[in-house]
Amino acid sequence: MSLLEVENLRTYFFTPAGIVQAVDGVSFEVDAGESLGIVGESGAGKSVAVKSIMGLIRDPGRIVEGSVRFDGRELTELSEAELRREIRGNEISIVFQDAMSALNPVFTVGSQLEEVIVENTDRSPSAARERAIELLDDVGIPNPDRRIDEYPHQYSGGMQQRAMIAMALACDPRLIIADEPTTALDVTIQAGILELFDEIQETHDTSIVYVTHDLGVVREVCDRVSVMYLGRVVESAPYEELYRYPKHPYTQSLLNSVVTPDEILDEINPIGGTMPSAVSPPSGCRFRTRCPEAVEECVHVTPRARQVGDSHTAACLLYDESNSHEEPTLREITNQTND
Amino acid sequence: MGVEVIMSAGSQQTGDTADAAGQPLLEVSGLKKHFPVNSGLFASITFDRDADGFPITRDDSSVKAVDGVDFALEAGKTLGVVGESGCGKSTLARTILGLEEPTAGEIRFDGRPKDEIPEAEFRKRSQMVFQDPQSSLNGRRRVGHIIEDPLEGAGWEKARRRERALELLEQVGLKREYYNRYPHEFSGGQRQRINLARALSISPDLIVCDEPVSGLDVSIQAQILNLMTDLQAEYGLTYLVISHDLSVVRYIADRVAVMYLGEFVEVAPTDRLFTHQYHPYARALLSAVPNPDPDMPGVSSQLSGAVPSASNPPRGCRFHTRCPSFIIPDGFTAEAYDGYDRLRSDVSERSLDPEVNDVSSALETYVPELASVAGDRRAALESAVSEALDGEWDRAERTLESEQSPCQAEAPSLETAGDPAHEAACHLSFETPSDADSGSTEDGRR
């Protein structure tokens, strides 16, 4: 059994403009000590998927179907109070992209860190301070005994993100979810944070779910990767396997669009067009409107994840011989939860 | 203005057409842009009881955002400027276009000093594309009208403007029907296409692009970069591209300048810069970019500490406080030199460690590794400490100064490195670029 099992998760947002099918039938697993990258362009539903795990979806959003099992326990059935008491912080913690807005500007970094420790462990306030200094030291903040009493604005962007990671580590969670934690940082600062994630995984044996749009970052941090497109996982594989043998046409074109400083390409071949709206996504395969391989069948059949290699799956009719399954309609899904 | 300038600018040029290739369209020399930390007379005055004489001092410190930049950009070519946030690259772009008044230096456009070019002509021949397509397009106006703006400024009549805008929409990969739509109806990539159409409308020679694709998804980034290259080929455009993203610059630029704290530290043709970096900062920046290819080396974070303040940049080479290849003078070990540095900083602040009471205790406190220091260096340290203890601070400071590393003593200037078109500003010798055996660092460097 994996530590985290997400199965057929659907998270919709019920807006006046229509139902946004942000996450629509997503499944993935994370083993203990493993790091999974979730990669995709903006609007793919990566953030919504990981926030659903933590029960952080707010109105008008709702998990309409599917299950999230953590260590065998069904998280979608827990109440807000149970999630807060038993899961968030001490079992699963999350690091967001924008550290400055996640830290409270009127309290010192130390007091915020100590609060988390006192809340979630049975340490005394003075022991919590000691632990806080230790954590700041662990995440590479210089002179932690002095800097613990500083306010967030006195920290640089990279330091703020390190402080957030210290907070996420405070209660020794078994899973850390990182939602684009380095996107706003300079590459030189990002490099240090990526090394820190590697270190955390090694020394604490923590599982990591790392959300990013950058395949280079996935390569640095993750063992496996799931590629998302418009609310669905289109391909999953160990990172190297995915890079060398991409199967899904979307993954292939994503890899073709990447520019790197290490090679000069005469011409990049990006995917044409833009991602359609998640309010009225294309029927059948959602990538078909931009897919160079699309055939008539793609309009009618929703491809399911098929084994295409060693622990490598892709959801594309190219690899699906028995394509005679039917997806529930939107009406069926939303009615189900309203009952 | 010199006679030769008139000849070169006037002989083959008529009206707005771009110059023949090979001729610099844009030349910048000694360009500086400083922003005062306190603006206005009253904000800059502070009461200072310890001052000699009248107890009021004026704080005239300034943020040196751009501090002495030189380059020449040939017509039809692309110069990419890369650097971390806060290095001054955006200020450089804005100053060149006249959105900021330069503090010092000269900008020449098409062979003439920019000051002598009528504002209307310069506006017509240079355009800017900003980073954030969301906020750089007025949300209440139709995109057709936005694209026509520069034409209206140039006095085009309405029907001709409209015809041109429709044409441009097609050229940047949009549809003529979009003319009457509003910016919010478009995605980020499409909005950047609209920005490009607006910049192109007046057929400028120079387009300055400040982070043209940051914030866009990779596939959209690639589309915009391809569009920019196509437009350049078609209209002979000259680009100055500002970006924090080395991959973007590698794809689009002919020449790349690496900027750090207001200065260019390395400038080279794109192919060369990405294969031979001489400046340690350029090397560190490049090694921090994640590469998806598992066969390529992974990232390494070589830089410690944060970018120093641009209002008080480090003396000597501005990068020396973070440099992984800092040159330690002969006769010092790395540890002993750190001790020397601490002593020097205390001497310049006129206060030694309170536990120090004589020469030997001072040396013990600051440089415990004294035994490893070469004889003449040790003698200099001893005399500096005794001068400081005698209260002769200035002499002590001078004594210490003569022992310092070249990286602190002198700011390196851009010098040719390996190839006539390749320049770097570093005290290291330029014989061993990064792609050579990296294990062969010479003695005396940490």
User: Going from the N-terminus, what domains does chain A have, and what CATH number goes with each?
Assistant: 4-91+173-338 (3.40.50.300)
CA distance to partner chain A, nearest, from residue B419 (Å): 20
Which pLDDT does position B160 carry in this prediction? 94
Share the mean pLDDT of chain B.
Answer: 85
Is any Cβ of chain A less than 8 angstroms from the Cβ of B230?
A: no
From B180's Cα to the closest Cα of chain A, the distance in A is: 21
CA B255 to chain centroid, in Å, comes to: 14
The reported pLDDT for the residue numbered B51 is: 60
Angle, helix B393-401 to helix B375-389, in steps of 10 degrees: 160
pLDDT band at B423; cut points 50, 70, 90: very high
Q: Which residue of A has its CA nearest to B174?
A: A273
- For residues B19 and B75, the answer to whether their CB atoms sit within 8 Å is yes
Q: What are phi and psi of A24, to 5 degrees?
A: -135, 80
In B, which residues are within 8 Å of A217 by CB distance? 290
Name the one residue in this structure whose structure tokens are 């030199």.
B337
CB contact under 8 A, B219 and A186: no
For A:140-169, CB contacts with B below 8 A are 156, 158
Contact of B285 with B259, CB cutoff 8 Å: no
Residue A254 to residue B219, Cβ atoms within 8 A: yes
pLDDT of residue B50: 65
What percent of chain A is predicted at pLDDT more than 70?
93
Digit-coded pLDDT (tens) for B158-216: 999 999 999 999 989 899 999 999 998 888 888 999 999 999 998 999 999 999 988 78
Q: What is the CA radius of gyration of chain B?
A: 27
The mean per-residue pLDDT over the stretch B264-276 comes to 93
Q: Are B79 and B96 in contact (CB under 8 A)?
A: no
The alpha-carbon gap from A237 to the nearest alpha carbon of chain B, in Å, equals 14
CA distance A111 to A107: 6
CB atoms within 10 A of CB B13: 15
Question: Which residues sit opposite B129 in a β-bridge?
Answer: B209
> Chain A residue closest to B86 (CA)?
A186
Write the burial class of residue A102 (CB in 10 Å: 0-12 exposed, 13-18 middle, 19+ buried).
middle
Residue A172 near chain B (CB below 8 Å): no
- Give the end-to-end CA distance of chain B in Å, rounded to a whole number: 49
Span B66-106, pLDDT tens digits: 999 999 999 999 999 999 888 999 999 999 999 999 999 99
Answer whether A37's CB lies under 8 Å from A224's CB: yes
Alpha helices in chain A (DSSP H): 46-53, 80-82, 99-102, 109-120, 125-138, 144-147, 157-169, 187-204, 215-221, 239-244, 249-257, 330-338
Average of per-residue pLDDT across B228-240? 94
Of all residues in chain B, the one with the smallest CA distance to A215 is B292
Range from B44-58, B200-214, B429-443 that averages highest in pLDDT: B200-214
**How close, in Å, is residue B378 to chain A by CA atoms?**
31
Q: Cβ contact (<8 Å) for B285 and A188?
A: yes
Q: What percent of chain B has pLDDT over 90?
A: 49
Q: If you average pLDDT over residues B242-257, what whole number do you get?
A: 93
Task: Give backbone dihedrals phi and psi of B437, rounded to 5 degrees, phi first.
Answer: -60, 115
Predicted TM-score (pTM) of the model is 0.84
Does pLDDT of A92 surpass 60? yes
Interior CA angle at A173 toward A169 and A178, to 5°? Answer: 65
A257 and B250 within 8 Å at the Cβ level: the answer is: no
Predicted confidence (pLDDT) at residue A177 exceeds the cutoff of 50:
yes
Cross-chain residue pair B217–A41, CB shorter than 8 Å: yes
Give the pLDDT confidence score for residue A130 in this predicted structure. 93
| CA–CA separation, A45 and A23 (whole Å) | 6
B271 touches chain A (CB under 8 A): yes
How does DSSP classify residue B120?
H
Q: Which chain B residues contact residue A271 at CB under 8 A?
A: 219
Q: Are A218 and A228 in contact (CB under 8 A)?
A: no
Residue B153: the pLDDT is: 86
Per-residue confidence (pLDDT) for residue B372, from 0 to 100: 87
Task: Summarize pLDDT for B297-349 with one digit per residue, the tens.
Answer: 889 888 877 788 888 899 999 999 999 999 999 989 988 998 898 888 888 88
Distance between CA atoms of A91 and A207, rounded to whole angstroms? 11
pLDDT at B363 over 50: yes
pLDDT of residue B16: 41
Cα(B271)–Cα(B275) distance, rounded to whole angstroms?
6
* Nearest chain B CA: its distance from A300 CA (Å): 26
Quote the tokens at residue A292: 């160079």
Structure token pair of residue A162 = 């390190």
The token pair at A303 is 């491809």
Which pLDDT band, with edges at 50, 70 and 90, does B48 fall under? Answer: low
> pLDDT at residue B42 above 90?
no
Tokens of A12: 């919709």
Write down the mean pLDDT value for chain A: 89
Name residue B104's beta-bridge partners.
B32
Contact between B212 and B241 under an 8 Å Cβ cutoff? The reply is: yes
Q: Which residue of B has its CA nearest to A158?
A: B306
Instruction: HSE, CB side, 13 Å, CA atoms: give it for residue A124.
Output: 2
Least confident of A149-158, A323-332, B100-109, B387-396: A323-332
Rounded distance, CA B431 to CA B46, Å? 50
pLDDT value of position B40:
67
Asked whether the CA dihedral A39, A43, A47, A53 is positive or negative, the reply is negative
Contact partners, residue A45, CB within 8 Å, separation at least 6: A11, A22, A23, A24, A26, A228, A230, A231, A232, A278
Is residue A165 within 8 A of residue A194, CB to CB? The reply is: no
Residue A158 Cα distances to A140, A201, B305, angstroms = 10, 19, 10
- What is chain A's Cα-based Rg? 21
pLDDT beyond 60 at B1: no
Does B124 have pLDDT greater than 50? yes
Closest CA to A140 of A112, A105, A164: A164
Nearest to B292 among A215, A270, A274 (CB): A215
A-B contacts at Cβ under 8 angstroms: 129
Nearest to B290 among A158, A217, A274 (CB): A217
Residue A26 has pLDDT above 60, yes or no: yes
- Shortest distance between the Cα of A201 and any Cα of chain B, in A, equals 17
B354 touches chain A (CB under 8 A): no
Burial class, B51, CB count within 10 angstroms (exposed 0-12 / middle 13-18 / buried 19+): exposed
Which residues 108-147 of B are in CB contact (within 8 Å) with A?
none
Confidence of residue A15 (pLDDT cuts 50, 70, 90): very high
Is B279 in contact with B426 (CB distance < 8 Å)? yes
Are B121 and B154 a contacting pair, CB within 8 Å?
A: no
Matching residue, tokens 């709206």: A277
Can you tell me the distance from the alpha carbon of B100 to that of B191, in angstroms, rounded to the nearest whole number? 26
Six token digits for residue B13? 């040029």
As a whole-number percent, the residues of chain B with pLDDT over 70 amount to: 87
* Contact predicate B246/A188, CB 8 Å: no
Q: Which residues contact A308 (CB under 8 A, 6 or more apart)?
A: A247, A314, A319
Residues A221, A198 contacting (CB under 8 angstroms): yes
Q: In this model, does residue B257 exceed pLDDT 90?
A: yes
